[in-house]
Amino acid sequence: MMSERLAGKKAFITGGASGLGVAIARMFVEQGAQVAITDIDLPGASKIAAELNSIRQGSASAFAHDVAREDQWISALEQANEAMGGISILVNNAGIGVMASVEDESLDNFKRVMDVDVDSVFLGCKHAMKYLRQNQPGSIINMSSIAGLYAAGSMAAYNAAKAAVWLLSKSVALHCASSGYEIRSNSIHPVFIRTPILDGISEALGIESDAERDKMLARGIPMGRIGEPEDVAYAAVFLASDESKFITGIELKIDGGMSAQ
């Protein structure tokens, strides 16, 4: 029998056409939520929504949405609110990863990473708030990274962007708490997880086989492997559910012990 840890929840999930967004949307639906999946890749998002509707009819809808654009945030939220009859969970998941040092990175690329990885989270929290306020209790889940807490010489823009998401989430948490909203805001910090975003690392390192790449990435992880998308989705279910009703402003690391070293 399907368990219902998210029964009655209405989640807006960005970057839902691939990787972690797909795993989160699927697990949310399995746990009884309705989901609005948004992505710049509308055909991809629509395909996932159709798949989820075959698990439970009416559980998913898909919308075209560039998270770096304020006008598109406003219209995607409006459409999702209409489709689901409210929004109680925001998952700011869409993001891009690039590898370059401070010397090699161009200002244009740096700004693009900030637009997609940071402006997106600011715009999402800002514009979703009115819907979350109407559908309390609410939960905001922002996808940072272990790279938002620990730096690498080859990740200048990504480190800066994901660190910004980390403290922005806490600022949102404190604002909600002091305003008396029953809306929580937390960030998730995964280490390497097996999704298409790792293809960029393969390219940067000139590694052709995924198995070889994963083995190399796993070397710094005490548990000896990279993560699977469901490892992150389980954490998102917990933070989205009322089980975490006294948890706000935290950074939840999903890193196989990497940060314990």
Ligand X SMILES: NC(=O)c1ccc[n+]([C@@H]2O[C@H](COP(=O)([O-])OP(=O)(O)OC[C@H]3O[C@@H](n4cnc5c(N)ncnc54)[C@H](O)[C@@H]3O)[C@@H](O)[C@H]2O)c1
Residues belonging to the active site:
158
The amino acid that residue 86 corresponds to is G
Site for ligand X contains 239 (CB under 6 A) = no
Q: Does 68 bind ligand X (CB under 6 A)?
A: yes
Our finding on whether 192 is near ligand X (CB under 6 A) is yes
220: helix, strand or coil: coil
- Asked if 94 is part of the footprint of ligand X (rule: CB under 6 A), the reply reads yes
Phi-psi region of 103 (alpha: psi -120 to 50; beta: other; left: phi over 0): alpha
151 binds ligand X (CB under 6 A): no
51 touches ligand X (CB under 6 A): no
Neighbours of 85 (CB within 10 A): 9
Q: Is 19 in the site for ligand X (CB under 6 A)?
A: yes
**DSSP single-letter state for residue 37:** E
Q: Per the structure block, which two tokens stand in for 200?
A: 């960029």
Pick one of 6, 143, 149, 157: the residue that binds ligand X (CB under 6 A): 143
Per CB under 6 A, 236 contacts ligand X: no
Q: Is 221 in the site for ligand X (CB under 6 A)?
A: no
- Residue (14 or 81) nearer to ligand X, CB: 14
* Binding of residue 216 to ligand X (CB under 6 A): no
Torsion, CA 141, CA 179, CA 73, CA 107, rounded to 10: -70
By CB under 6 A, is residue 124 in contact with ligand X?
A: no
What's the token pair of residue 74?
């406003």
From the list 28-36, 60-68, 126-134, 177-185, the region that binds ligand X by CB under 6 A is 60-68
CA distance 57 to 142: 27
Spatial distance between the Cα atoms of 53 and 201, rounded to a whole number of angstroms: 33
The CA distance from 242 to 8, in Å, is: 11
In the list 93, 139, 159, 241, the residue contacting ligand X (rule: CB under 6 A) is 93
Task: Record the tokens describing residue 232, joined without a space.
Answer: 């992150």
User: How far is 176 from 248, CA to CA, in rounded Å?
Assistant: 9
Of 6, 17, 80, 118, the residue at the interface with ligand X (CB under 6 A) is 17
Site string for ligand X, 196-215 (x = CB under 6 A): xxx-----------------
Window 26 to 45, contacts with ligand X (CB under 6 A): 39-41
Site residues, ligand X (CB under 6 A): 14-15, 17-21, 39-41, 65-68, 93-97, 116, 143, 145, 190, 192-193, 195-198
